[in-house]
Chain A
């Protein structure tokens, strides 16, 4: 095992963290495991693919468009669907988002066939050499974006008035209403933000790797593991856990061969649940 392996594993963890960030936000604010999060990520990959093919934009030129569309979709989803479901309890929300995930997979399969797709960009195959190590450029970018977005979000949530309102609405919606806070609006904005984060993740994931209509399942699984390991509502924890998962995966492959990488990740997930049920960094601000 060498430095390149470990560092690239860590960077792959940055991509995992990016994928998990939106899930973590919704989990923290709404206490809802959004089972459609993977579909939002893959949807953004397909959206960017469509744009690159239709108007010949590069995937990163398509990114702003995809992010805006995703945010609008997330906003509408919360206002029109999830709010009503969540009034019936979290179970209804989980069932509803599961339905959405299934629907999304079917829609991708019929719209884009079930063949694997990938976003082509020179970034995907570029590399950065530091010392004796070779780092995949796209993963470096993904990790940098994950760190930057986590920092902006964590600071925004802890320091700004909007963040204060978000935390208040998350911790005690009824009392927040007494403060004149339109809690439904706050929740919708949070879901819109999460969808936008999913879109950023989706484009980077599509460039770094490849996707099929059913890629959302494995993305969702890893994101849930990352969120739980990091601590519910703890965005910094999500980042740390993402990096940890990537690192553990790389170490496991280096030590035991590739056959155990999934096993090792979920073993980590299980052990953290048993030893520290609140996650590595504990319950967060949300």
Chain B
């Protein structure tokens, strides 16, 4: 990710605000629980470049814990215990995340950990959990990237999220919902996931019968896409597929507009899947595609509950981001309950045995410790996200996209 280079500065920034952040981190999700409680820890990127994802995570994890506590807590050794969730802010820094995972177990006495968003944060945390032999459940890390994070194979760490290839295929289906000349300009940055995703996009688009007329790669800090846009326009591309961070994506869209390049379909994965995409681009974002890692349209059990609780505070976009976190916490809490103990080996075995349809979808872990969730594509329509692939009743596709017209 773009973040490693700034890791040192973030660490400094983190330590400057240490007092304040410490205060945030120390706030327990439930208070007044007397007697023995079960402590679960989470080191999340609440601030820094991943701050948006981190705050959705905190909301999802907290909601799941609150739901269990409201029902009287978890039954361990025949006695109900309330669950105490300790959240620390790692300021989007890998090293801090790893250290915090350790201290959550050793100092705060966490019996299990929930992971922070994205592989650069989750994998160091998971490696710490492996060493400490503590169950660790995470999400927001695409499954193949997570599985590749430990060459020796995971024992205690588990991940549930979409599969990279599914994403590429879904995107290729989305871009062909609209009638075009099937000429694609592909923009991927040279960060880890851009490099990983690019061949998947190329394969999926080829399979869908599209022709990639421009295949552009660039460093993550790029602010000038003029030459690519000019070339793509000259090549007559009517579809733009991209995978990049938000600032780059915003700049790309502005330059496309300025240079009079108006493709019929645009989806910039990663950049476009948060509300800030719309805030930054305004009407330019109208009709652009976006990622949905959860959708109420799937009508999974518990959908109404999360909409009534989490959904009250979060819009659809943040809810779609927070529900996988809610699901990950559910998997861990259910496993402790099923094990009837907090003993790491037993809880871990219970996670392995998970085979249930939850609000995130059906969760069943493969041998590589990952469970694949669904992936949907939405479209920004009137500053709201609407699921358009797979299609749902009542939603219609805006084709061609209006923002760049």
Contacts and interface: CB of A to CB of B under 8 A. Distances in A.
B280 interface: yes
B270 to A, nearest CB: 11
B32 interface: no
Interface in A209-256: 209-212, 214-215, 217-218, 246, 249-250, 253-254
Interface string B216-245: 111101111011101100100000000001
A259 interface: yes
Interface residues of B, number: 49
Interface string B240-269: 000001110011001101111000000000
A118 interface: yes
Given A118-B280, A120-B282, A217 B9 contact: yes
A117 B52 CA distance: 13
B340 interface: no
A202 interface: no
Contacts of A127: 258-260
A114 interface: yes
B400 interface: no
Contacts, number: 150
Contacts of B251: 208-210
A210 B280 contact: yes
A275 B234 CA distance: 39
B51 interface: yes
Contacts of A246: 224
B169 interface: no
B260 A116 contact: no
A136 B250 CA distance: 15
A175 interface: no
Mostly, the A contact residues are helix
A94 B280 CA distance: 33
A205 to B, nearest CB: 8
Contacts of B353: none
Contact of B276 (A116, A124, A250): A116
Contacts of B190: 259
Contact of B49 (A1, A114, A257, A259): A114
Interface in B109-160: none
A210 B246 contact: yes
- Determine the main DSSP class of B at the interface with A: helix
* Range for the number of chain A residues in contact with chain B: 35 or more
A5 interface: yes
A116 B221 contact: no
Contact of B224 (A8, A126, A137, A217): A8
A12 interface: yes
Interface stretch (A54-62, A98-106, A157-165, A183-191): A98-106
Interface in A19-37: none
A90 interface: no
A118 B281 contact: yes
B16 interface: yes
Interface string A109-133: 1100111111010001111000000
B259 A117 contact: no
B227 A214 contact: no
B345 interface: no
Given A8-B227, A8-B230, A254-B227, A118 B222 contact: no
Nearest to A53: B279
Contact of A125 (B52, B257, B280): B257
Contact of A118 (B231, B250, B259): B250
A77 B251 CA distance: 32
A9 interface: yes
Contacts of B281: 118, 120
Given A218-B221, A246-B224, A258-B218, A110 B47 contact: yes
B255 to A, nearest CB: 6
Given A102-B16, A136-B259, A114 B227 contact: no
Nearest to B189: A258
Given A4-B230, A138-B258, 4 more contacts: A4-B259, A9-B224, A102-B16, A137-B258
- Interface pairs A-B: 5 shortest CB-CB: A258-B218, A115-B276, A125-B257, A8-B226, A210-B250
15 contacts: A4-B230, A12-B224, A106-B13, A106-B17, A110-B47, A113-B276, A114-B49, A115-B52, A115-B274, A126-B258, A134-B259, A137-B258, A209-B223, A217-B5, A262-B222
Interface of B: 5-6, 9-10, 12-13, 16-17, 47-52, 92, 190, 216-219, 221-224, 226-228, 230-231, 234, 245-247, 250-251, 254-255, 257-260, 271, 274, 276, 279-282, 284
